[in-house]
Amino acid sequence: MARKTKDPGFGYNSKENARNIINDNGTSNVRHINRKRNVNDLYTYFIDISWFQFFVLILVAYTILNMLFGVFYVAIGIEQITKPKGTFLEDFLNGFFFSAQTLTTVGYGGIAPQGIAANFIAAFEAMIGLLSFSFITGMLYGRFSKPKANIEFSENIILRDFKSQKAIMFRLMNSRKTVMIEPEITVTLSVTEENEKNEFKRNFYELKLERNKIMYLPTVWTIVHQIDDDSPLYKYSKEEIRNLDAHLYILINYHEESFSQKVYQINSYHFEDLITDVKYKSAASFDVEGYTLLDHNKLSEVENL
């Protein structure tokens, strides 16, 4: 008899068109409202955004800062750093480029502050430049040194006959060349069902797996949940399983050699991704020299039984 598990943190309430709480790539699909913001959240924000967003923000902030100080130099009189050119645009560009030299502490020497106001602004800007580049350096180190798993999951899950019964399966592999040491996986099934009061409730079950932990993984691991008498899916036919409003939530952890510590990764599947009566193609083969070849493009490939 299948036993419900305690709420793993997703909440029991649901609705007919409720979206998945965890995206397929493991990111959260929760929108926060009325959340109090804290300056300490900046570190998490800069660590978690993409590399493209990170460098675009740096470029935009750098440009705006130089434009701001360029306006300051024009406002106090451009003659305090160089000879006026006669037009606002040319004077502004001189102020902008002098600001860039000061902010980065390059100081080519072609332009130098002459008056008290210009020296005061330049000194203040140099301090901002030192602090800003120290902050950026720290963020770069944090992004590179952050322990992170890099596991590829199959794009689909399959439902097939298995050992005179049925089974649900999906596959995973390490995107890095390192060997996953002692990987351990937990799979939770979430099924949204309508009760007698016409309310939608989530029921959670921790699925029993053929193997939930192995010594190490150099190639591909097929995760198998056999639908036996103890499975929460035992009462359903194949067609009914396909039509369930259900999700699989996956948590995997292992020792990552690159960081010399344990890393975690989450993933999810909706039963819309489920394919029946197929099996996965082999993703590993041998070359003429006897080396094992692991084809990442075959992780999700299936064939008929």
96 vs 72: CA distance, rounded Å: 10
* 41-145 topology per CATH: Helix Hairpins (1.10.287)
Residue % of the chain over a pLDDT of 90 = 50
Conformation bin of residue 164: beta by default, left when phi > 0, alpha when psi is -120 to 50 = left
For residue range 124-162, what is the model confidence (pLDDT) as tens digits?
Answer: 999 999 999 999 999 999 888 888 888 999 999 999 999
| Phi, psi for residue 13 in degrees, rounded to 5 | -70, 150
- The CATH architecture of the domain made up of 151-304 is Sandwich (2.60)
pLDDT at 102: 92
- Cα 294 to Cα 305: distance, rounded to the nearest angstrom: 22
Among 90-94, 190-194, 241-245, the range scoring the smallest mean pLDDT is 190-194
Give the predicted TM-score (pTM) of the model: 0.74
Domain spans of the chain, in order of start:
41-145, 151-304
Q: What band does 181 get if pLDDT is binned at 50, 70 and 90?
A: very high
List, for residues 242-266, the tens digit of each pLDDT value: 888 888 999 999 998 888 889 999 9
pLDDT at 89: 93
Residues 232-238: what's their mean pLDDT?
A: 90
**How big is the chain, counted in residues?**
305
Return the HEC string of the chain: CCCCCCCCCCCCECCCCCCCCECCCCCECCCCCCCCCCCCHHHHHHHHCCHHHHHHHHHHHHHHHHHHHHHHHHHHCHHHCCCCCCCHHHHHHHHHHHHHHHHCCCCCCCCCCCCHHHHHHHHHHHHHHHHHHHHHHHHHHHHHHCCCCCEEECCCEEEEEECCEEEEEEEEEECCCCCEEEEEEEEEEEEEEECCCCCEEEEEEECCCCCCECCEECCEEEEEEEECCCCCCCCCCHHHHHCCCEEEEEEEEEEECCCCEEEEEEEEEEHHHEEECEEECCCEEECCCCCEEECHHHCCCEEEC
- Residues 61-70: what's their mean pLDDT? 95
pLDDT category of residue 15 using cuts at 50, 70 and 90: low
Which of these ranges, 185-194, 196-205, 250-259, 273-282, has the smallest mean pLDDT? 196-205
pLDDT of res. 9: 61
How much is the mean pLDDT over the chain? 87
Q: What is the pLDDT of residue 37?
A: 75
What pLDDT does residue 57 have?
95
pLDDT band at 208 (very low <50, low <70, confident <90, very high): very high
- Residue 180 above 80 pLDDT? yes
Is the Cβ–Cβ distance between 171 and 280 less than 8 Å? yes
Q: By mean pLDDT, which of 59-63, 199-203, 240-244 is the weakest? A: 199-203
Confidence check: pLDDT of 3 > 70 = no
Looking at the chain, the whole-number percentage of residues with pLDDT higher than 70 is 90
For residue 16, the model assigns a pLDDT of 55
Q: pLDDT at residue 190 above 80?
A: yes
Per-residue pLDDT at 14? 53
Mean pLDDT of 178-185: 92
Average pLDDT over residues 80-102: 91
- Beta strands 284-286 and 261-270: pairing type? unpaired
Rounded to the nearest 5°, which phi and psi values hold at 160?
-145, 165
| pLDDT of 78 over the 60 cut | yes
* pLDDT score recorded for residue 20: 63
Q: What is the mean pLDDT of residues 268-281?
A: 91
The residue type found at 238 is: K
